[in-house]
Amino acid sequence: MKRKIIYIEIDEEITSIIDKIRETEEVNIVLVVPKRARILQSIISLKLLKKESEKYGKNLIFVTLDRVGRHLASQVGFEVYQKITQGGKIVFPFEKEKKDKKSQFYLKEEGNHKKESETDFVDEEEFSENEPTKEKVFFEKKLNFRELFEKKEIKTKKQKNEESIEKFEEKKSIFRTGDIQNKNSNYLNILPFDKKFLIGFLVLGVILLLYIFNIVLPQAKINIYVKANQVPKTIDAAVSLNAQEIDYNKNIIPARQIKASIDINGDFETETIKEIKTKAVGVLKIKNTDTTGFSWQPRGLVTFSPENNLSLNFITPTPIYELKGGQEVQINIESENFGEEYNFPAGSRFRAKALIGKSYESNIVITAPSGTWGGANKKVKILSQSDIDKVKEKFISENKEILLNKIKSQLQNDEFLDERFIIFSLEDYITSPEINKEAEKFNLKGKLMANAFVFKKDDLKNLVLEKIKSEVAATDKILEDEINWDFSQINPEEQMIKIKIEALGWVVPTINLDELKEKIKSLSKDDAEKQIMKIENIKKTEISIFPSFKRNLPPLVSHIDIKIKPEK
């Protein structure tokens, strides 16, 4: 069976190889591929070649010294051989053995194929076609193949360098994406590095580490405690919704209002107890049933039926009545004391105290046609404003955190919120029953509002600082981080909150910190402390260095942080 030998150039494109395969009449094609050939660099190209060869019905065999290439071609499914062996035959698995040929050579197989006894060989004439210059050396020298392999090759220095580059490229190629699928492949070896390059890299790394550890990384924090004087200051000020900026003359800080609300609806117990005391009132009808008239002045008192020893007062001064026979008069009365016992039903009869014992008493009839009413002396629960205020306080206590979170969510980054600047109110509420009505329970619906006055903390600090400066000499320095204040009075008004600020500042002699940093940079911790303690009025010094194993301060002044603190 005829075969075609095709020699592939190192930079030959996949499209060119496919064209050669398509144009070849023979079914069996041997591809002789040099090391580092482009076709062997990508498994994708080999898969494409495999697909196209099957499409055109071609049987391809790879012969190459490129180990990575042999591995990739074998993975795709090609028959792969390494080189011509010393046995004098080229072995193929697709043709019977030809024993009548004198010049024979073997291909060393990389895959699992047929044994030597079952394989075929190709004579050297079939390798004379389409051979590139490098590969023709085997035939141009007219050597038999055994001599060719036994002949020792004398390598020049240039050839050795080329081989080193070839080995490096072989190992480098296995790290390219898609070139190798088997992660446990024996081809994954450590890349060789040039020793000079490696040493240079290590030296550079050491220098970089030394620079980081000695220059970039070190930091120093120093607290210097100085003899200080207190400067107390009381400031009458206000935070106002109408102000746009700080008014240092009037001590006004600009503020804005943030609102939050919660709907409330519930039934509550009334707690207000009221004592009710009223006197009974009514109208008495007095009639003379005798034919003889008489004069009578009740003198303001009447008594009830004998079984009731209770008294009623006349509301108005009683006149002297001239009661003729059969005459009738009406008198308005009220009870002498408070209580329900003075309430009598309609038609009740009474006796006049002044007529008791008189012969004509029986002729005088005293009645209350409509009875008496309104007398009371008791304690009852009524709905009062105090009950409503207690409900408000209860809701504030239960919902304070919710309202605060709603307010805080509206704060801007530089704004300050003090809970004492929040005004809570109960708005748009209705009660059932109405206020001041008798009730054991009541229902309340409405909104619990929280109105917060917020302002910039820096505005407050600047106002306090400005007022303390007015008390300090120009040669002294105010420790701004040590200023403390609180509010002794907070009086909310409609558009502002008036406050009284109690501030306390600390003043120390001025120290040139930039000059001090220059003096102590790179010094040991002990030497730096001695240098600092030379300054007048300094009581003590605390120095901490990072990393902790460093003994000297950083060489960069920007990495030295000095804080002045009062020695209290």
DSSP-assigned states of every residue in 34-91: -TT-GGGS-HHHHHHHHHHHHHTT-EEEEEES-HHHHHHHHHHT-EEEEEE-TTS--E
Beta strands in 270-300 (DSSP E): 272-288, 294-296
> pTM higher than 0.75 for the full model?
no
Q: What is the pLDDT of residue 199?
A: 86
**Residue 156 in 3-state DSSP?**
coil
Q: How far apart are CA 483 and CA 481, in angstroms?
A: 6
Q: How far apart are CA 6 and CA 131, in angstroms?
A: 7
- Provide the token pair at 468: 């303390």
Listed in sequence order, the residues at least 6 apart from 441 whose beta carbon sits closer than 8 Å to its beta carbon are 267, 268, 269, 270
Q: How far apart are CA 408 and CA 419, in angstroms?
A: 11
- Provide the token pair at 299: 């003198």
Q: What is the pLDDT of residue 238?
A: 94
> Which residue is listed with tokens 């003075």?
342
Beta strands in 74-228 (DSSP E): 79-84, 91-92, 107-109, 120-121, 219-227
Our measurement of the distance from residue 138's CA atom to the centroid of its chain's CA atoms, rounded to an integer in Å, reads 76
DSSP 475-514: TEEE-GGG-EEEEEEEEE-SSEEEEEEEEEEEEEE---HH
Sort residue 281 into left (φ over 0), alpha (ψ -120 to 50) or beta: beta
Q: What is the pLDDT of residue 530?
A: 93
Beta strands in 241-346 (DSSP E): 252-254, 256-269, 272-288, 294-296, 301-304, 311-314, 321-323, 328-338
What is the chain's Cα-based Rg?
Answer: 59
Q: What residues pair up with 487 in beta bridges, in sequence order? A: 501
> Within the chain, what is the greatest distance between any pair of CA atoms?
185
Closest to 475 measured CA to CA, from 557, 537, 562: 537
Q: What is the pLDDT of residue 515?
A: 93
Residue 64 and residue 41 in contact, taking contact as beta carbons nearer than 8 Å: no
Q: pLDDT tens per residue, the chain (568 residues)?
A: 577 889 999 989 988 999 899 889 888 998 999 988 998 888 888 999 999 989 888 899 999 998 888 888 999 999 998 875 544 344 444 333 333 333 333 343 344 333 333 333 333 333 333 444 444 333 333 334 444 444 444 445 455 555 555 555 554 454 444 443 443 434 434 344 467 778 888 889 899 988 888 888 899 999 999 999 999 999 999 999 999 999 999 999 999 999 999 998 999 999 999 888 888 888 888 888 887 777 766 655 565 554 455 566 655 555 666 778 888 888 888 887 888 888 888 988 877 766 766 777 788 888 889 988 988 888 899 999 999 999 999 988 999 999 999 999 999 888 989 899 999 999 889 999 999 898 999 999 999 999 999 999 899 999 999 999 888 888 889 998 888 989 988 898 888 999 999 999 999 999 999 999 999 999 999 999 999 999 988 999 999 999 988 889 999 999 999 999 998 7
Q: What is the pLDDT of residue 124?
A: 38
What element of type H or E holds 538?
Answer: strand 538-546
Q: How far apart are CA 231 and CA 469, in angstroms?
A: 9
Q: How far apart are CA 82 and CA 3, in angstroms?
A: 19
